[in-house]
Chain A
Amino acid sequence: MTTTSIGSGRGAARRRALIGRAAFAGPGLVYVTAFMTVPLLLIATYTVLTRGRFGGVKWEFTLGNFAKALDPTYLSILGNSLLIAGITTVLALLLGYPTAYGISRLPRQWQAVAIVMVVLPFWSNFLIRTYAWIVLLNSEGPINSALVSLGVIGAPLDLLYNRGAVIAGLLYAYLPLVILPVYAAIERVDPQLQEAARNLGASKARTFWDVTLPLTLPGTMIGAIFVFVPSMGNFVVPELLGGGKTVMVGNLIRDQFLEARNWPFGAVLALSVVAFLVLLFALQAMVARRINSAGPRA
């Protein structure tokens, strides 16, 4: 008798705990399911259907959309996107890591100021900021006029509407996204670990290489993914700063849905980008686990 009542009491407690947890997680979960998981499942379904004549899909099974994605034209666009996103990410890391490191070495009160400065651009519209780059880079823009008037160059350079302009725009847009997680990662490293390395005979540079860098690697990879992912999928920057000459996967996907009206093919492209990102996150998780094997630092 007693046992049963205790058991059921415990069951009730567990149910209450579950309901409590659901109440907290519920709204977020519903939102994500409704506006993320369902569309993703739809996209996944579209990949094996036939295109409708005026957009949409016909419910006829086919693998042709996947075969089409392997066409050299599209593969080269994919390769181009990878290259642009890759270069952007590398540059963002090269610029962002030292910035984050520098911020973490500032006095406490200045760190907060610096972080606000880093996210300040987010307060104005992305599109407007990207337009500003057109003004900045065009042949009569301030960069070219300055260089010409200083006599560094004879005639204005073609800074706009090329791959370099796209990379510059993406880098500008996503640099804060690498600085923030790297800063957080550096802040989490126990300064005593760096002191321990020095004490054991490591120079400052050696300490950075052996202790700081490996311990901040998971955070750095998160930063890299934060830059790589939206760079890869971006279609505004290539359109505005690439002048339509530089086509990236993002443009291609948008065109398939809105102009070519080939939804299934657009879905294949979208899904392949998603698959690629999942792969990246898996890689990050693996590295993080290797570095912090057996849990967080004690």
Chain B
Amino acid sequence: MTPSPLLRISHLSKRFGQTVAVDDVSLEIRPNEFFSLLGPSGCGKTTLLRALAGFEDPDSGTVTIAGESGELDLLRLPPERRPINLMFQSYALFPHMSVERNVAYGLQRERLDRAVIRQRVDEVLQTVGLTDKATARPAQLSGGQRQRVALARAIVKRPRLLLLDEPLSALDRKVRAEMQLELKRLQHEVGITFVVVTHDQEEAMSMADRIAVMSDGRVEQVDSPVDLYTRPRTVFVADFIGTSNAFVGTLTSGGVMVPGIGMLPGQSVSADAGPEVTLIVRPEDIRFAPTGQAVLAGHVIDVQYFGGASTVAVRVEGVDRPVLVSCQGTTTLARGDATGLAWDPAAAVLLEA
């Protein structure tokens, strides 16, 4: 069912002096996919992107891209010959060229016919809604407009793969939400495979079909946004994606025995969780329970109301961080109230400690 990958990265590594920026990364990116590389700054995602574009030489590993005549060894090609375009975080628009000359630049390098270039530039400017800015210089545009020029300049080349380095980070919140939708729409429309690098988990979750979570140069997990959230495979992923409550203990037949707290509900789904485990439970999976049914007891230290939902922070004796519980709408609980907490064993995720 899975189509053959467009891009295959195998055991790619890159070090700078003593630091390993990319550590034995293997990834497969499928055609027409909206793929995201997600991780905190310094996790190696930008280095990986630059290696794909040809601006960093990996120390080891291979990258191949599916071409008309079989697989193409990407790393042997100079940057200008790779069927990949990159949208830079800073946009990197040529300040001395007008919008249309910026967009036409890549097509001129392909030595296309003047009329063809004209037509494709006009088309793409229409797609991104900048027809009336064709003769403006980048300095005369707003942040959102510049972003769209950068995008137009990259997609007009009709690359097999479009890499986007933190495409929305320079925009303010409101424009950002708009551009997220816009990017998704464009990706559908032009049918290009997108690889977006971002440190913003919400951005990745809302846009990507699949996400690779990176940490310290390694890929922690590659999955759909839903699977990443509901079935994180490492503590790092559970912590990085969304909010989670974590308890470290020993797996027994009756649940997880946490020293100083007691037995917490949770069941082993796979065999790979050893006796020492971290139990992860999401705030929305915890409910308030009367004593007797509760597995944890504590008192409320803070209530935050977010319109549709509230988050209650509960201090539990023996747990370092307050346990976060989210509930629909408002809550009758107030600071200082004593409460019990409970959750279904199936809602908890057990990970190797």
A residues neighboring B (CB under 8 Å): 190, 192-193, 195-203, 206, 210-211, 214-215, 290-298
- Chain B 256-292: CB-based contact to A (< 8 A → 1; otherwise 0): 0000000000000000000000000000000000000
Find out whether the CB atom of B139 lies under 8 angstroms from the CB atom of A195.
no
A3 to B140, CA, bound (A): 38
Min CB–CB distance B352 → chain A (angstroms): 40
Find out whether the CB atom of B105 lies under 8 angstroms from the CB atom of A292.
no
Instruction: Check B114 for interface membership: any CB of A closer than 8 A.
Output: no
Find out whether the CB atom of B109 lies under 8 angstroms from the CB atom of A201.
yes
Which B residue's beta carbon lies closest to that of A192?
A: B92
B328 / chain A contacts, CB cutoff of 8 Å = none
Min CB–CB distance A201 → chain B (angstroms): 3
Min CB–CB distance A186 → chain B (angstroms): 15
In the complex, 30 of the A-B residue pairs with CB atoms within 8 angstroms, ordered by the A residue number, are A190-B90, A190-B92, A192-B88, A192-B92, A193-B94, A195-B53, A195-B79, A195-B88, A196-B88, A196-B92, A196-B93, A197-B105, A198-B55, A198-B80, A199-B84, A200-B80, A200-B85, A200-B105, A200-B153, A202-B109, A203-B80, A215-B96, A291-B95, A291-B96, A292-B95, A292-B96, A293-B96, A294-B137, A297-B95, A297-B139
- Residues from 51 to 77 in B contacting A, C-beta threshold 8 Å: 53-55
Find out whether the CB atom of A206 lies under 8 angstroms from the CB atom of B55.
no
The 9 closest A-B pairs by CB, nearest first: A201-B109, A200-B106, A196-B92, A294-B139, A192-B92, A198-B79, A297-B95, A291-B96, A294-B140
A292 to B139, CA, bound (A): 8
Find out whether the CB atom of A293 lies under 8 angstroms from the CB atom of B137.
yes
Instruction: Check B189 for interface membership: any CB of A closer than 8 A.
Output: no
Instruction: Check B178 for interface membership: any CB of A closer than 8 A.
Output: no
- Residues from 31 to 56 in B contacting A, C-beta threshold 8 Å: 53-55
Which B residue's beta carbon lies closest to that of A297?
A: B95
B137 / chain A contacts, CB cutoff of 8 Å = 293-294
Min CB–CB distance B177 → chain A (angstroms): 22
Min CB–CB distance A246 → chain B (angstroms): 40
Find out whether the CB atom of A200 lies under 8 angstroms from the CB atom of B109.
yes
**CB-CB under 8 A for A211 and B139, given A195-B79, A201-B106, A201-B157:** no
Min CB–CB distance A218 → chain B (angstroms): 10
Find out whether the CB atom of B85 lies under 8 angstroms from the CB atom of A211.
no
Min CB–CB distance A284 → chain B (angstroms): 15
A206 to B108, CA, bound (A): 11
A201 / chain B contacts, CB cutoff of 8 Å = 80-81, 106, 109-110, 157
B199 / chain A contacts, CB cutoff of 8 Å = none
Contact of B92 among A193, A214, A215, A295 (CB under 8 A): A193
Find out whether the CB atom of B55 lies under 8 angstroms from the CB atom of A211.
no
- Chain B 119-142: CB-based contact to A (< 8 A → 1; otherwise 0): 000000000000000000111100
B92 / chain A contacts, CB cutoff of 8 Å = 190, 192-193, 195-196
A296 / chain B contacts, CB cutoff of 8 Å = 139
Find out whether the CB atom of B95 lies under 8 angstroms from the CB atom of A200.
no
Min CB–CB distance A49 → chain B (angstroms): 48
Min CB–CB distance A285 → chain B (angstroms): 16
Find out whether the CB atom of B80 lies under 8 angstroms from the CB atom of A196.
no
Min CB–CB distance A189 → chain B (angstroms): 10
A206 to B79, CA, bound (A): 13
Contact of B139 among A202, A203, A295 (CB under 8 A): A295
Instruction: Check B86 for interface membership: any CB of A closer than 8 A.
Output: yes
Find out whether the CB atom of A199 lies under 8 angstroms from the CB atom of B146.
no
A200 / chain B contacts, CB cutoff of 8 Å = 80, 85, 105-106, 109, 153, 157
A296 to B139, CA, bound (A): 8
Find out whether the CB atom of B85 lies under 8 angstroms from the CB atom of A199.
yes
A297 / chain B contacts, CB cutoff of 8 Å = 95, 138-139
B84 / chain A contacts, CB cutoff of 8 Å = 199
B78 / chain A contacts, CB cutoff of 8 Å = 198, 203
A291 to B97, CA, bound (A): 8
- Chain B 99-113: CB-based contact to A (< 8 A → 1; otherwise 0): 000000110011000
Min CB–CB distance B78 → chain A (angstroms): 8
Find out whether the CB atom of B146 lies under 8 angstroms from the CB atom of A298.
yes
Min CB–CB distance A214 → chain B (angstroms): 5
A190 / chain B contacts, CB cutoff of 8 Å = 90, 92
Most chain B beta carbons < 10 A, residue from A196, A203, A210, A293: A196
A290 / chain B contacts, CB cutoff of 8 Å = 96
Which B residue's beta carbon lies closest to that of A215?
A: B96
A199 / chain B contacts, CB cutoff of 8 Å = 53-54, 79-80, 84-86
Which B residue's beta carbon lies closest to that of A200?
A: B106
A200 to B93, CA, bound (A): 11
Most chain B beta carbons < 10 A, residue from A199, A290, A293: A199
Which B residue's beta carbon lies closest to that of A199?
A: B86
A297 to B140, CA, bound (A): 10
Find out whether the CB atom of A198 lies under 8 angstroms from the CB atom of B54.
yes
Which A residue's beta carbon lies closest to that of B81?
A: A201
B138 / chain A contacts, CB cutoff of 8 Å = 297-298
A198 to B80, CA, bound (A): 5
Min CB–CB distance B73 → chain A (angstroms): 18
Known contacts A195-B86, A195-B92, A196-B86, then 18 further A-B pairs from the complex at CB < 8 Å, ordered by chain A residue: A190-B90, A190-B92, A192-B90, A196-B93, A198-B78, A198-B80, A199-B53, A199-B54, A199-B79, A200-B105, A200-B106, A200-B157, A201-B106, A210-B105, A290-B96, A292-B96, A295-B139, A298-B139
Which A residue's beta carbon lies closest to that of B109?
A: A201
Min CB–CB distance B88 → chain A (angstroms): 5
A190 to B90, CA, bound (A): 10
A296 to B85, CA, bound (A): 26
A192 / chain B contacts, CB cutoff of 8 Å = 88, 90, 92
